[in-house]
Structure 1
Amino acid sequence: MKTAIIHERFLVSTGISTDTRNIKPGSIFFALKGTSFNGNEFATEAIAKGAICAVVDHKEAALNNKEYILVKNTLEALQSLAKFHRKFLGIPIIGITGSNGKTTTKELIHRVLSRKYTVTATLGNLNNHIGVPLSILAMDGETEIGLIEMGANHPGEIEFLANIALPDYGFITNFGKAHLEGFGSLDGVIQAKTELYRHLKENKKLIFLNLDDDVQRLEMNYKHNFSFGSNRKAQVKIDYPDTTDSAELIFNETNFKSQLSGSYNAKNMAAALCIGLYFKVPFNEIKEAIETYKPSNNRSQVIERNSNKIYLDAYNANPTSMMAALQHFQNLKTDNDKIVILGDMGELGPSSETEHQVIVNFLENADISEVYLVGKQFGKTTTNKPNIIKFDNTETIKNHIYLAELKNCSILIKGSRAMALEKIMEVFEPTT
């Protein structure tokens, strides 16, 4: 009952606010709680700053007037409101998850579909139990298609998010060794990520499949599917040429060349192409949208600095994505010296020591001039190769790079978010 009441207020509001430091006048303030904050304490401030009402879950925070709505749990109220709003809109929603490439794939799909439709997509990587509801509540009457990214680091979380977003379509980018601390194993990752497909199948909705993926091929017998890949049974037949720099693909005798580094990104491009074709976006518009997409936020970027070519992929890392980046980088054809800068991979639990050593073992036999390993986990690995050098933290590697005055090098930078390896870019002078 209260969800319907809140929704009526929401429809005449300017949106949702959860932080009084950047409150939107005319918005609804949700007093969310965290380990170090309690939004109920800021409800009065939110009203004073222009919120039309505050949703609270502490009686003492709910003054006896229409500007305050008391609920049992503000987070659950936010999630219920999002689900209610999703049903109210009645628009097609595409859900996206996977171990690697979720955000890049979402951005590519967003750009492709936006050539024909008004699309509202997850902003950045707001893909959790708070971000997904906020993404849905950002959709309005103008939105024709919703695009929701779903993240997880424990079993059951994708299913939970799917029950809020109620997607009509879904795609899983891949299955890799990410968040092993929460999933336990690669099989645990697969079971968790395929919660999206199971949800869609139970509701007789459509799934997009990459038939070059061993796990996704198992879903071929489900009749509501639309597939792509180099597999001859794919409905959208893709060829992946050997590339030395940016990701490319060939479809219908037409070459698509992106601004994304890494051949592994070609599968993300293919997913956007496939979904664009399914939604009948004109072919030339799909091609232009993919080819003009320029990555940002430390994801698959190629940056020229001071005669160096830097492959910056420092937003996050896990064993699967790091190995893919290394294999691509090793195969680059260049006269430059190749330098690899790697930061620790997080959330690997008991597998951490083994997975970091696997990376080092690969590097010992790789055609790389110098390797710089950053962090405590890489510090525990063993190697007798003189070209593999360890650093305690990002500041120490920054100082080393600054003093080295690197010139005419190809440099790969990759690590988990906590390592913040993008700070290394501060020592490279911008190309004029």
Structure 2
Amino acid sequence: MKKKIEQLAEWLDIKTNFKGVVVTGVSINTRTLKPGDLFVPFRGENVNGHQYVRQAFEAGAAASLWQRDEPNPPKDVPLLIVDDCKLALQEMARSYRNELSTMVIGITGSNGKTSTKDLVASVLKPYFKVQKTQGNLNNELGLPLTILSLDEDTKFAVLEMGMSGFGEIEFLSRLARPDYAIITNIGEAHMQDLGSREGIAQAKFEITAGMASHGKLFYDGDEPLLLPFVEEFPQAVSFGFGENNELAVTNIKATENGSSFLVSGIIDAAFTIPVLGEHQVKNTLAAILVALEAGLTEEEIRRSLKNAALTDMRMQIIQADNGATFINDAYNAAPSSMGAALNFLRETTMKEDKWLVLGDMLELGDNEQRYHEDMAKLISGEISGVCLFGPRMKWLRDKLAVSFSGEVIWSENDYAPIIEFLKERISSDSIILVKGSRGMALEKVIEPFTAN
């Protein structure tokens, strides 16, 4: 974005006495602010961003918003006085989106949003100018910041859309106006806010609210809860494991270099990705569908998928100093994604000695005990031992005491016992899957094994 301050004032339907000031970005944090940015000060529970406006200008800000009811605005710097800084940020993003010819791909789902975002961006990037959501900027503040960060000549923008309640995805969809939308799956995250998986499906389908009339929805065709919604949405294309999907996958094979698989339906072809896990292969189907819409050939898709790069902690292969292989899938966890990861470990032939490090699954609502206990059904004799971390994992430990013959250790809030337990047991013949919700920070279990 490169706009004069008077253009921003026009977007916001306000007046400004400053002329010619050029804004080249937007920031809400003085620590990451770049020269030329517009600073947006927010009032939070503990911090009022207005007290950092001076600091923002010292760091090179070109201009700043200022909320009208905030006293003592500085007089000698370019300010845009607005009624509400958050609404102003969103309105600027809406106006800028209206000017862009960029094709927008919106992605939502209970699990796999970031991996799918990375896969879509990876398959397009060798052939087009692509930008994607950075980090977790996928909510009512993050999405506007992402839109305002887009270069005017960007061909494809791959945007995550997250939520915790009804109406949030609809708002983001109407703001971003996606040309294509992807629903990766329907899981159990945010059950406490949405009440049921049916409610989650309804909330995720809100991504279609702002879609362009020519747009298409790519959705998890293995999820029956989405069927009532897609029946009334003619531009919907299904993908998944089931043979009735319009793009179906079979013959998934895991190697130390990733996964190979066959697809059938819209195209019949073989592909490989440098990523492990059947769930990641399924996410790749959405990327293939987008690539086909972008006009890429089968060979172009195959070539770019071979070099796809995912954000860390998504089935990330990490070699320990002693030769053991860690699979770091510790970015997040819900029953569906946990089950997919456990299936991978049970079926993989990469190494014979298999271990699990599992952390609490958060935000599951009233049924969280049952969801944790149900994991015991997926842990069988192929697993040498299980390390459990967090207060909720005590439920799983109690179930495993009855059903599992291997070694089990549980620690409520200290990583050290688990680290020591593994140090005494794993070798170059071991593969260790590490998975839990983000709040459990299970990557800390891996760090001592890769000190060199």
Report the TM-score when normalising by structure 1. Answer: 0.91
Gap regions ≥5 residues in structure 2: 1-9
Structure 1 equivalent of residue 35 of structure 2: 25
Change beyond 3 A, Cα 1:359–1:161: same
Instruction: Kindly provide the amino acid, as one letter, of the partner of residue 330 in structure 1.
Output: R
Is 2:192 the partner of 1:181? Answer: yes
Is 2:361 the partner of 1:345? Answer: yes
Structure 2 equivalent of residue 84 of structure 1: 95
Looking at structure 2, the residues matched to 350 and 56 of structure 1 have their Cα atoms a distance apart, in angstroms, of 42
Structure 1 equivalent of residue 323 of structure 2: 307
Residue 249 of structure 1: CA displacement? 2.4
Structure-to-structure mapping, 1:198-213, within 5 angstroms = 198-200=209-211, 203=213, 205-213=215-223
Is 2:333 the partner of 1:317? Answer: yes
Residue 192 of structure 1: CA displacement? 0.9
> Contact 2:201–2:226 at 8 Å: present in 1 too?
no
Structure 2 counterpart SS, 1:250:
strand
Structure 2 equivalent of residue 392 of structure 1: 412
Residue 398 of structure 1: CA displacement? 4.5
Structure 1 equivalent of residue 449 of structure 2: 428
1:172-194 deviation per Cα after TM superposition (whole angstroms, max 9, x unaligned):
00101112222222112111111
> Contact 2:221–2:239 at 8 Å: present in 1 too?
yes
Structure 1 equivalent of residue 433 of structure 2: 412
Looking at structure 2, the residues matched to 335 and 53 of structure 1 have their Cα atoms a distance apart, in angstroms, of 57
Structure-to-structure mapping, 1:130-279, within 5 angstroms = 130-200=141-211, 203=213, 205-218=215-228, 219=230, 222-229=233-240, 234-235=245-246, 237-245=247-255, 246-251=258-263, 254-279=269-294
> Contact 1:247–1:264 at 8 Å: present in 2 too?
no
Is 2:57 the partner of 1:42? Answer: no
What CA RMSD, in Å, does the superposition of the two structures yield over aligned residues? Answer: 2.6
Structure-to-structure mapping, 1:361-380, within 5 angstroms = 361-363=377-379, 365-380=380-395
Looking at structure 2, the residues matched to 147 and 403 of structure 1 have their Cα atoms a distance apart, in angstroms, of 41
1:83-123 deviation per Cα after TM superposition (whole angstroms, max 9, x unaligned):
11101214321111001110111111112122322122111
> Contact 2:174–2:209 at 8 Å: present in 1 too?
no
Change beyond 3 A, Cα 1:400–1:45: same
Change beyond 3 A, Cα 1:278–1:3: same
> Contact 1:178–1:320 at 8 Å: present in 2 too?
no
Is 2:128 the partner of 1:117? Answer: yes
Looking at structure 2, the residues matched to 254 and 149 of structure 1 have their Cα atoms a distance apart, in angstroms, of 28
> Contact 1:47–1:67 at 8 Å: present in 2 too?
no
Residue 334 of structure 1: CA displacement? 4.9
Looking at structure 1, the residues matched to 179 and 227 of structure 2 have their Cα atoms a distance apart, in angstroms, of 20
Residue 35 of structure 1: CA displacement? 2.3
Change beyond 3 A, Cα 1:206–1:242: closer
> Contact 1:227–1:274 at 8 Å: present in 2 too?
no
Structure 1 equivalent of residue 108 of structure 2: 97
Instruction: Kindly provide the amino acid, as one letter, of the partner of residue 311 in structure 1.
Output: I
Looking at structure 2, the residues matched to 4 and 112 of structure 1 have their Cα atoms a distance apart, in angstroms, of 40
Change beyond 3 A, Cα 1:415–1:216: same
Residue 233 of structure 1: CA displacement? 5.7
Query: Which 10-residue stretch deviates more, 133-142 or 2-11?
Result: 2-11
Query: Which 10-residue stretch deviates more, 292-301 or 35-44?
Result: 292-301
Change beyond 3 A, Cα 1:226–1:4: farther
Query: Which 10-residue stretch deviates more, 274-283 or 402-411?
Result: 402-411
1:333-371 deviation per Cα after TM superposition (whole angstroms, max 9, x unaligned):
2552111010001111222112111113433x4531101
Looking at structure 2, the residues matched to 119 and 338 of structure 1 have their Cα atoms a distance apart, in angstroms, of 39
Structure 2 counterpart SS, 1:56:
strand
Aligned length: 428
Residue 216 of structure 1: CA displacement? 4.2
> Contact 1:394–1:424 at 8 Å: present in 2 too?
no
> Contact 2:273–2:306 at 8 Å: present in 1 too?
yes
Query: Which 10-residue stretch deviates more, 107-116 or 9-18?
Result: 9-18
Looking at structure 2, the residues matched to 273 and 9 of structure 1 have their Cα atoms a distance apart, in angstroms, of 47
1:12-55 deviation per Cα after TM superposition (whole angstroms, max 9, x unaligned):
32201111123211111000222221101111221222211110
1:150-191 deviation per Cα after TM superposition (whole angstroms, max 9, x unaligned):
011112110111121121221100101112222222112111
Structure 2 equivalent of residue 295 of structure 1: 310
> Contact 1:20–1:46 at 8 Å: present in 2 too?
yes
Structure 2 counterpart SS, 1:342:
strand
Change beyond 3 A, Cα 1:56–1:162: same
Change beyond 3 A, Cα 1:380–1:297: same
Residue 409 of structure 1: CA displacement? 0.8
Structure 1 equivalent of residue 7 of structure 2: none
Structure 2 equivalent of residue 280 of structure 1: 295
Report the TM-score when normalising by structure 2. Answer: 0.87
